[in-house]
Protein backbone atom coordinates (compact mmCIF):
# COMPACT_ATOMS: atom_id res chain seq x y z
CA UNK A 1 0.00 0.00 0.00
CA UNK A 2 1.38 3.40 -0.99
CA UNK A 3 0.62 6.33 1.28
CA UNK A 4 0.84 9.73 -0.37
CA UNK A 5 2.15 12.21 2.17
CA UNK A 6 2.32 15.16 -0.20
CA UNK A 7 -0.69 16.69 -1.89
CA UNK A 8 -0.44 18.45 -5.28
CA UNK A 9 -0.37 21.85 -3.52
CA UNK A 10 2.58 20.64 -1.41
CA UNK A 11 4.55 20.25 -4.65
CA UNK A 12 3.93 23.73 -6.04
CA UNK A 13 6.99 25.98 -6.11
CA UNK A 14 6.77 29.16 -4.06
CA UNK A 15 8.04 32.34 -5.68
CA UNK A 16 9.21 35.10 -3.37
CA UNK A 17 9.97 38.63 -4.57
CA UNK A 18 11.80 41.23 -2.51
CA UNK A 19 9.66 44.29 -2.93
CA UNK A 20 12.43 46.84 -2.44
CA UNK A 21 14.59 45.65 -5.36
CA UNK A 22 12.24 43.27 -7.21
CA UNK A 23 14.68 40.33 -6.96
CA UNK A 24 12.91 36.95 -6.99
CA UNK A 25 13.76 33.45 -5.86
CA UNK A 26 11.79 30.24 -5.61
CA UNK A 27 11.41 27.41 -3.15
CA UNK A 28 11.30 24.32 -5.35
CA UNK A 29 11.35 21.49 -2.80
CA UNK A 30 7.96 20.06 -1.92
CA UNK A 31 6.93 20.02 1.72
CA UNK A 32 4.19 20.57 4.27
CA UNK A 33 2.74 23.96 5.17
CA UNK A 34 2.60 25.60 8.57
CA UNK A 35 2.07 29.06 9.98
CA UNK A 36 4.50 31.08 12.08
CA UNK A 37 3.34 32.17 15.50
CA UNK A 38 5.74 34.36 17.47
CA UNK A 39 4.12 34.51 20.92
CA UNK A 40 1.92 32.21 22.98
CA UNK A 41 -0.73 34.95 23.10
CA UNK A 42 -0.84 34.95 19.30
CA UNK A 43 -1.41 31.19 19.20
CA UNK A 44 -4.91 31.05 20.66
CA UNK A 45 -8.15 29.57 19.35
CA UNK A 46 -8.64 32.48 16.95
CA UNK A 47 -5.55 31.47 14.96
CA UNK A 48 -7.12 28.07 14.22
CA UNK A 49 -10.25 29.64 12.74
CA UNK A 50 -8.18 32.21 10.85
CA UNK A 51 -5.82 29.55 9.48
CA UNK A 52 -8.62 27.23 8.35
CA UNK A 53 -10.83 29.87 6.75
CA UNK A 54 -8.21 32.17 5.24
CA UNK A 55 -5.05 30.13 4.69
CA UNK A 56 -6.46 26.84 3.49
CA UNK A 57 -9.87 28.10 2.35
CA UNK A 58 -11.70 25.50 4.36
CA UNK A 59 -14.70 25.52 6.63
CA UNK A 60 -13.95 26.09 10.29
CA UNK A 61 -15.11 23.31 12.59
CA UNK A 62 -14.98 23.70 16.36
CA UNK A 63 -13.28 20.29 16.44
CA UNK A 64 -10.24 21.72 14.58
CA UNK A 65 -7.15 21.75 16.77
CA UNK A 66 -3.92 23.69 16.98
CA UNK A 67 -0.65 21.80 17.26
CA UNK A 68 2.49 23.75 18.04
CA UNK A 69 6.21 23.15 17.82
CA UNK A 70 9.48 25.01 17.71
CA UNK A 71 12.01 25.33 14.92
CA UNK A 72 14.46 23.26 16.97
CA UNK A 73 11.99 20.38 17.43
CA UNK A 74 11.08 20.40 13.74
CA UNK A 75 14.76 20.28 12.79
CA UNK A 76 15.41 17.49 15.31
CA UNK A 77 12.61 15.54 13.61
CA UNK A 78 14.53 15.66 10.31
CA UNK A 79 12.65 18.51 8.65
CA UNK A 80 13.78 22.02 7.71
CA UNK A 81 11.30 24.85 8.13
CA UNK A 82 11.72 27.56 5.49
CA UNK A 83 9.97 30.91 5.66
CA UNK A 84 7.94 30.90 2.46
CA UNK A 85 5.50 33.79 2.34
CA UNK A 86 2.69 33.38 -0.14
CA UNK A 87 2.79 37.05 -1.07
CA UNK A 88 0.03 37.14 -3.65
CA UNK A 89 -2.34 35.47 -1.22
CA UNK A 90 -1.39 37.70 1.70
CA UNK A 91 -0.07 34.77 3.75
CA UNK A 92 3.13 36.34 5.00
CA UNK A 93 3.56 34.00 7.98
CA UNK A 94 3.54 30.85 5.82
CA UNK A 95 6.29 28.24 6.29
CA UNK A 96 7.17 25.22 4.18
CA UNK A 97 8.60 22.30 6.15
CA UNK A 98 10.83 20.19 3.92
CA UNK A 99 11.98 16.69 4.82
CA UNK A 100 15.75 16.36 5.06
CA UNK A 101 15.41 13.30 2.79
CA UNK A 102 13.95 15.57 0.10
CA UNK A 103 16.72 18.15 0.47
CA UNK A 104 19.51 15.57 0.37
CA UNK A 105 18.25 13.13 -2.25
CA UNK A 106 15.20 14.65 -3.90
CA UNK A 107 13.03 11.78 -2.66
CA UNK A 108 9.60 12.32 -1.17
CA UNK A 109 9.25 11.93 2.59
CA UNK A 110 8.29 8.47 3.76
CA UNK A 111 5.95 7.45 6.56
CA UNK A 112 8.82 7.45 9.06
CA UNK A 113 9.52 11.11 8.21
CA UNK A 114 5.87 12.01 8.73
CA UNK A 115 5.74 10.21 12.07
CA UNK A 116 8.89 11.99 13.23
CA UNK A 117 7.41 15.35 12.24
CA UNK A 118 4.13 14.63 13.99
CA UNK A 119 6.01 13.82 17.20
CA UNK A 120 7.63 17.27 17.09
CA UNK A 121 4.20 18.86 17.59
CA UNK A 122 2.04 18.97 20.70
CA UNK A 123 -1.69 19.59 20.92
CA UNK A 124 -2.32 23.12 22.18
CA UNK A 125 -6.02 23.64 21.58
pTM beyond 0.85, yes or no: no
Q: How many domains does the chain have?
A: 1
List phi, psi (to 5°) of 89.
Answer: -100, 0
Range of the domain at 30: 8-123
- The percentage of residues in the chain with a pLDDT greater than 90, rounded to a whole number, is 44
pLDDT of the residue at 13: 93
72 belongs to a structural domain: yes
Instruction: Report d(CA 86, CA 77) in Å as an integer.
Output: 25
Query: What's the mean pLDDT when you consider all of the chain?
Result: 83
3 belongs to a structural domain: no
Q: For 85-100, how does the pLDDT look when each residue is reduced to its tens digit (9 = 90+)?
A: 887 777 788 899 999 9
List phi, psi (to 5°) of 94.
Answer: -80, 140
49 belongs to a structural domain: yes
108 belongs to a structural domain: yes
3-class secondary-structure state, position 24: strand
2 belongs to a structural domain: no
pLDDT of the residue at 79: 97
Amino acid sequence: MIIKLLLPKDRESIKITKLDDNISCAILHPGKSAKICFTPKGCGPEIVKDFVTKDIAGNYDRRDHLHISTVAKIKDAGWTPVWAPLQLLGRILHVRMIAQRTIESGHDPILEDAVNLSRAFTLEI
